[in-house]
Amino acid sequence: MSDGNYAHGDYTGDGKALFWLALRTGLLTLFTLGIYRFWAKTRVRRYIWTSSRLDGSRFEYTGTGLEKFLGFLMAVVFLAVYLGLIQIVLFYFGLTIFAAPQTPEQALAQTAGVSVSALALMPFIFFAIYRARRYKLARTRWRGIRFGMDKDAWGYAFRAIGYWLLTLVSLGLLTPLMTFRLEKYMTDRTWFGDARFDQQGRWTALYGKMKHIFVGLALIALGVLAAALAAQSGPLLGVLSALAIPVGVVWFVIGVISYRVQSFAYLAQNKMLSGKVAFHAHPSTKTVILTYILGSIVLGICLSVATGIFGGIVAMTLSGIDFETMNGQFQPGMILPAIITVAGYLLTLTAAQAGALAAITQPILKHYVQTITVINLPALAEIQQRDADQGADAEGFADALDIGGAI
Amino acid sequence: MKGDAHLYDGRSAARHAVHVELSRDLQALVITGEALPEPLVWPLPDLRALGDHADDSQIVLARHRETEDESLRDPARLVVEDPEMVAWLRRTRPRLNRKDLRTGTGRRIALRLGGALAAVALMLFVILPALANTLAGLLPLEKEIAFGRSVKAQMERFLGATEVGALDCDEPDGQAALDRMVARLTEGQDLDYPLEVSVIDHKMMNAFAAPGGQIVVVRGLLDKADGPDMVAAVLAHEIGHVVHRDPTRHALRSAGSVGLLGLVFGDFTGGAAMVFLAERLINASYSQSAEAEADAYAHEALLAAGLPPSALGDMFETFRAEFGDREGPMAHFASHPQLSARIAAARAATPEGLPDRPVLDAAEWQALKTICDGRG
């Protein structure tokens, strides 16, 4: 859809087609002991990218499973050695300083020493997040032109740690500052061909998007206060607290989702491409939540049917065995039901992942794509190609650390 | 064969309407259009379609070319939507979906794979075990004992106890007999820990050592043993584990290797099963040598207490009659060495003419065998 000057995003992906693709690649992953997962993710991305259309042109994903596999192997070498060395050093200091904790304080310090090894992974996690986004952009093309991102993953990792600490210290009050600055850091380093993106807007504007979080918190606080007073001033306040706390918790959860959706919208609306092309985004929090709930219900029903069928088959094959007399011993008659149980479990899990992708992730993505508008299309035609990016680890760090989600 | 299509030239984001037809010699596609100063010629053997495309009604063509790109493709794209042309391409161009690999890809895969395997193996077989040994030696005693209690509680829950101590057997006469047995085995020895030996009521034929000097004998073992010496032999073996701090080292090492294996196998369905199997295999190689050392310890301790090490062999004989021995490839997954080898070792360690001095007299042995009778 376009009138020559602006165009809405368009998503043509089909649930059934994506489900079968994800199921086929998921089974291949199972049979190859996990090695195919890099190819599986690549193929699912190709499908999703080419399902997205802007002004009549489909996006393209050019990544390959092989480069992801090689990048993962590289990341494993780094992480295995790094983890090993960091653990030796931490153990050495942790144990020589506090050999036997005599006081609670020393025991606390020792516990803190152990959690440092988890913290030692944090820079790598943020590093991997930036690298993964850079890789995905470097492998995305529209009208044959590459997207891309500058090589600044360590700068991102240090800033991310800083903003996280600020957010923690401020008890979450500075969340908008973190959301805005980190997104700005990435957006300002993002390119489409030779045109650079620019994140505009103000971080304080994101406080408005947090309002439902504040309402939820206020309700919970009210409920707790009422519960404290109920002991003295009667049952009415007790009823009030019993009502306000659960409502407040649900409101808070919806508020968190709303913040994520609406802060994305605000940040998208305030992006510019080379000072000429603007964007509009108006995703609806209600649609996102309802899509999620609906998809979960459909998936839940399908899963219970599948579990019922497999359970029935296992029960049938087991019906000939007398458990009273077998005395914990192995019986050959148990091999078949055991195989069916394990195979059924793995198959159901693979199907559940494919189903979640097709019934939840894709419809939500579709909603996001369809509510984006690009303004000033003629300026896009002037954008020129950029050089290829080798992609370094091809998000191998993100794969090794299991971050990055379904797609 | 001819029709209309769209071209993205790979240099600018402009969309060009073009006309495509087969060249006169039938060897290439000739692309003409207003925006093109001269026709483009794409040889048919070079044509590739983009895979996993969401729209079946169109084909996006690219040319195969030696480039620095992630895949060997020229950046220009030709989007064909004309149904006849799409059908013609699918029918006549079998190379359309060919995967092209850069030369030297095999060598790169081998190099990276070798490097990753070497790093992981170094961690799993050198660094983590060394770390576990150091740590087991450094762990404060009271922490190790507390850890051992929680391991024992876990085992009891696994055997069906609803609360801690619910399965403990504590008939006073039986307990006294057990204490006598332990005293005779450890006489004159300086153990790092206070031993805590207990019997739990379950028909399983087993005994195990938990960290911190905890030894648990399961009642099934008492039922199947032919005499007190056989029980004493098993106890000596478990005391060997305690002395060598095997349970603690084992727990520390597997905590590390499970984390590392999780990194390798990742978050795919069935990944947890892979981690479990791999951990089992790695563990078996360590645990088999630990078992052999505990056997050797048991032989010495039994001799020192004036008891025949062959009693351990007799006990293994009972195990073998009950469960059979593990042969072939499965033996690598087993946590214990083959029983026949252990029986032979126990027999070989027994000198001729050892005086017959049973560890318990008939009444004490009867008390030990009925240690669980007081329970509900």
- Which domains does chain B carry? 2-97 (2.30.29.30), 114-369 (no CATH)
**Distance in Å, alpha carbon of B235 to nearest chain A alpha carbon:** 24
Which site among A27, A76, A114, A393 would you substitute to test the B interface, given the most B Cβ atoms closer than 10 Å to its Cβ? A76
- Contact of A27 with chain B, judged by CB distance below 8 Å, is answered with no
Residues 6+ apart with CB under 8 A from B87: none
pLDDT at position A321 is 62
Tokens coding B281? 């295999």
Q: What is the predicted pLDDT for the residue at A121?
A: 79
> Which helix (H) or strand (E) element contains residue B13?
none
Do A382 and B52 count as a contact with CB atoms less than 8 A apart? Answer: no
Of A239, A245, A258, nearest to A217 by C-alpha is A245
Q: Give yes or no for residue A137 having a pLDDT over 60.
A: yes
Of A29, A91, A144, the CB nearest to B76: A144
Residues of A in contact with B142 (CB under 8 A): 100
Q: Which of A44, A81, A100 comes nearest B140 by C-beta?
A: A100
- Beta carbons of B263 and A17 less than 8 Å apart: no
Once rounded to an integer, what is the mean pLDDT over residues B164-184? Answer: 85
pLDDT-above-90 percentage for chain A = 59
User: Higher confidence at residue A342 or residue A255?
Assistant: A255
Are the beta carbons of A349 and B138 separated by less than 8 Å?
A: no
A374 and A1 Cβ atoms separated by less than 8 Å: no
Asked if B120 is an interface residue toward chain A (Cβ–Cβ < 8 A), one would say: yes
Q: What is the pLDDT of residue A99?
A: 42
Q: Tell me the average pLDDT across A163-183.
A: 94
Nearest chain B alpha carbon to A390: B70
Residue from the list A34, A58, A77 with its beta carbon closest to the beta carbon of B274: A34
CB of B109 less than 8 A from some CB of A:
yes
Please compute the mean of the pLDDT values over residues A66-90 and round it to a whole number.
Answer: 79
Compute the Cα dihedral for B349, B354, B359, B360 and give only its sign.
positive
Cβ within 8 Å, pair A56-B15:
yes
Residue B376 has pLDDT above 70, yes or no: no
A70 pLDDT above the threshold of 50: yes
Q: Which residues does chain A have within 8 Å of residue B73's beta carbon, measured at their own beta carbons? A: 62
Q: Is the pLDDT of residue B205 over 60?
A: yes
Judge whether B145 is closer than 8 Å to chain A, CB to CB.
no
Chain A residues closer than 8 Å to B103 by CB: none
Q: How far apart are CA B248 and CA B359, in angstroms?
A: 29
Banded pLDDT at A224 (limits 50, 70, 90): confident
Tell me if B266 and A399 make a contact (CB, 8 A cut-off).
yes
State pTM to two decimals.
Answer: 0.79
pLDDT in tens, B215-269: 988 888 888 888 888 899 999 999 998 888 888 888 777 767 766 777 776 655 5
For B191, other C-beta atoms within 10 Å of its C-beta total 11
Winning range, highest mean pLDDT, from A104-118, A291-305, B122-136: A291-305
Secondary structure string (H, E, C) spanning chain A? CECCCEEEEEECCCHHHHHHHHHHHHHHHHHCCCCCHHHHHHHHHHHHHHHEEECCEEEEECCCHHHHHHHHHHHHHHHHHHHHHHHHHHHHHHHHHCCCCCCHHHHHHHHHHHHHHHHCCHHHHHHHHHHHHHHHHHCEEECCEEEEECCCHHHHHHHHHHHHHHHHHCCCCCHHHHHHHHHHHHHCCEEECCEEEEECCCHHHHHHHHHHHHHHHHHHHHHHHHHHHHHHHCHHHHHHHHHHHHHHHHHHHHHHHHHHHHHHHHHHHCEEECCCEEEEECCCHHHHHHHHHHHHHHHHHHHHHHHHHHHHHHHHHHCCCCHHHHCCCCCHHHHHHHHHHHHHHHHHHHHHHHHHHHHHHHHHHHHHHHCEEEECHHHHHHCECCCCCCCCCCCHHHHHCCCCCCC
pLDDT of residue A101: 45
Task: Please give the pLDDT value at position A98.
Answer: 43
The reported pLDDT for the residue numbered A105 is: 57
Nearest 5°: the CA angle B265, A156, A83 is: 35
**Mean pLDDT for the stretch of residues A230-240:** 76
Q: What is the pLDDT of residue B145?
A: 78
| Most trustworthy range by pLDDT among A343-352, B3-12, B318-327 | B3-12
Query: Per the CB < 8 Å rule, is B69 touching A382?
Result: no
